Structure 1
Amino acid sequence: MQSVDWLWLLHPALAVVLVYPLLGMVLRLAQQTRDRRLTQAKHPPTVGRDHADLGKWLAGSVVAIVLLAEAVVIATKHPISSFEGGSSRLALMVMVLIGSGVALAALWRVKQPPYRASFALLCWAGVIGLGLQPEVFRLSDNPLDPVFWQSHFWGGVGLTGLMLFSVACRPEIHKHLRWRRLHVSANALAAVIFLAQGISGPRDLLEIPLSWQKPAVYACDFQAQRCPTLAPSPAP
């Protein structure tokens, strides 16, 4: 494996090592928080706060890993010296990446609802804007196409939006039953998407060849599932 191949492994490795263990803890604390509120179960009084704090870290980790994956794909698709669009487009992509990171950091700190909503939308817009670049592979951009709903990329975009929504609405979730119910519904959907991402991610890894294998693999006809016949190796 070359260095570029290790860069491509950062996204799935961080997801396995960081995101999914956090997801398990957040789901467990969510169940304990709900039990304590509804059935007066004898869970520690800190479970609600721990659930909110770890949920915030889970959301931040998801957004950061998605941004990292998009940055790696865009930067390694072609050599930087022959980057499509030249230095001006490269500078724009870097600005969008940095701006998305700044918006995420600001979302963690601001208190007023308009600011929280604005920074969440700005961060999500940055994720979508980077993901729609031609270097980023997507099965389809048409929601009417069945493969659109099997896309690891669009699943990640939807998951990112749900995570940002949970962070942006955290104070309202604590105060209002209606927001709490919306939070539960949104995160039930997020749990389903996490499961789907755990399946589509390994599927996509199987389809991505190592950098030195790409010329041979991409010479194949993927529709017919046939590769050109290789010339016999010369006799030693």
Structure 2
Amino acid sequence: MLLNLKDIILLLHPILACTFVFPVIGIVSYFAWQTRQRRLREGAESKKIPPTVGREHVQLGNLLTAGVVGITLVAYAYSVIFGFQGFLMQASEGNLDWLRVGLVALMFAVTIASLVFLYQAHNRIWRGVFATLTGIGIVVLGFQPGVFRRDDEWYVSHFYYGIVASLLMIFALAIVQDIYQDRTQTWRRVHIALNTVALILFLGQGITGTRDLLEIPLSWQAPAIYQCNFDSNSPDFKTCP
């Protein structure tokens, strides 16, 4: 297997997704279903489900948010450094903007710090502030040069599915305390609806991520493959020199 350091770093995102994030999604979904079933059942029927499922659902849900945001930042870090028109390519062409490099590094730090503070915050206003800062960081970093977005096919884009799923996870983390304090159950219904959407997006992530892995060449293959014609309107579409 001809892998160099760049290729290994590229694989970190899918490795973390397959070995950590997707298994946790399955466990969180199971506990979510168990929690709802216990709440809907009555008397002896409800006692068949352990009373700890709700707490375990929250704990694993918080862990899932950290995992989703974490692997998103890992993908961004690789892309802005090694991606097409990323920092290394800009440096090789002599047009690297060091101010942008500093600002992007600062944005990574602010996003991570905001997520950490979001876990610590109890006041609703501060939870809103740190959730907003984390979300802004995810969006701003995602639209840096080097990040492959598939803008012309946004409806089947791994990037856009991922960024929406990440924002939904951040929002879910921010409203956890409100769910348990709201006697009208409004926040609980919002939580269920939005996380159902997130689950569908995660399924889409599995599909689009697998597709994108087939399209990303290893570093030693890239110079030859990127000479091929990928213009669908060209008569030489999908031909290579």
TM-score by length of 2: 0.89
Alignment match, 1:82: 91
Alignment match, 2:125: 114
Structure 1: stretches of 5+ with no match in the other structure = 230-236
Specify which of 145, 169, 176 is matched with residue 170 of structure 1: 176
- Quote the Cα distance in structure 2 between the aligned partners of 1:175 and 1:38: 19
- Look up the equivalent residue of 2:41 and give its one-letter code: T
Map Cα deviations across residues 107-135 of structure 1 (whole Å, 9 max, x no partner).
00010111111111111111111110121
- Quote the Cα distance in structure 1 between the aligned partners of 2:169 and 2:207: 19
Question: 2:240 matched to 1:228?
Answer: yes
The DSSP-based 3-state class of the residue aligned with 1:138 is coil
- Look up the equivalent residue of 1:91 and give its one-letter code: G
The structure 1 segments of at least 4 consecutive aligned residues displaced by more than 6 Å after TM superposition are none
The DSSP-based 3-state class of the residue aligned with 1:127 is helix
- Quote the Cα distance in structure 2 between the aligned partners of 1:63 and 1:228: 38
Specify which of 46, 53, 57 is matched with residue 59 of structure 2: 53
Alignment match, 2:194: 186
- Quote the Cα distance in structure 1 between the aligned partners of 2:82 and 2:102: 15
- Quote the Cα distance in structure 1 between the aligned partners of 2:125 and 2:113: 17
Alignment match, 1:218: 226
Map Cα deviations across residues 147-178 of structure 1 (whole Å, 9 max, x no partner).
21111001111001100000000011122200
Alignment match, 1:149: 155
Q: Is the 8 A contact 1:103 1:120 kept in 2?
A: yes
Map Cα deviations across residues 203-225 of structure 1 (whole Å, 9 max, x no partner).
00100001111111111111243
- Quote the Cα distance in structure 1 between the aligned partners of 2:90 and 2:38: 58
Question: 2:7 matched to 1:5?
Answer: yes
- Quote the Cα distance in structure 2 between the aligned partners of 1:25 and 1:124: 25
- Quote the Cα distance in structure 1 between the aligned partners of 2:240 and 2:39: 63
The DSSP-based 3-state class of the residue aligned with 2:229 is coil
Which of 189-198 and 41-50 deviates more? 41-50
Alignment match, 2:135: 124
- Quote the Cα distance in structure 2 between the aligned partners of 1:174 and 1:115: 18
Q: Is the 8 A contact 1:4 1:211 kept in 2?
A: yes
- Summarize the alignment of residues 33-44 of structure 1 with structure 2, pairs less than 5 Å apart: 33-40=35-42, 41=46, 42-44=48-50
- Quote the Cα distance in structure 1 between the aligned partners of 2:115 and 2:198: 19
The count of corresponding residues between Structure 1 and Structure 2 is 224
- Quote the Cα distance in structure 2 between the aligned partners of 1:10 and 1:74: 15
- Look up the equivalent residue of 1:69 and give its one-letter code: A
Q: 1:80 to 1:110 in 2, by over 3 A?
A: farther
The DSSP-based 3-state class of the residue aligned with 1:165 is helix
Structure 2: stretches of 5+ with no match in the other structure = none
- Quote the Cα distance in structure 1 between the aligned partners of 2:121 and 2:24: 24
Report the CA distance between 1:227 and its aligned residue: 2.5
The DSSP-based 3-state class of the residue aligned with 2:197 is helix
Alignment match, 1:22: 24
Map Cα deviations across residues 45-88 of structure 1 (whole Å, 9 max, x no partner).
11100000100000111001101110111112352881754222
Q: Is the 8 A contact 1:219 1:227 kept in 2?
A: no
- Quote the Cα distance in structure 1 between the aligned partners of 2:143 and 2:61: 27
TM-score by length of 1: 0.91
Specify which of 182, 197, 204 is matched with residue 212 of structure 2: 204
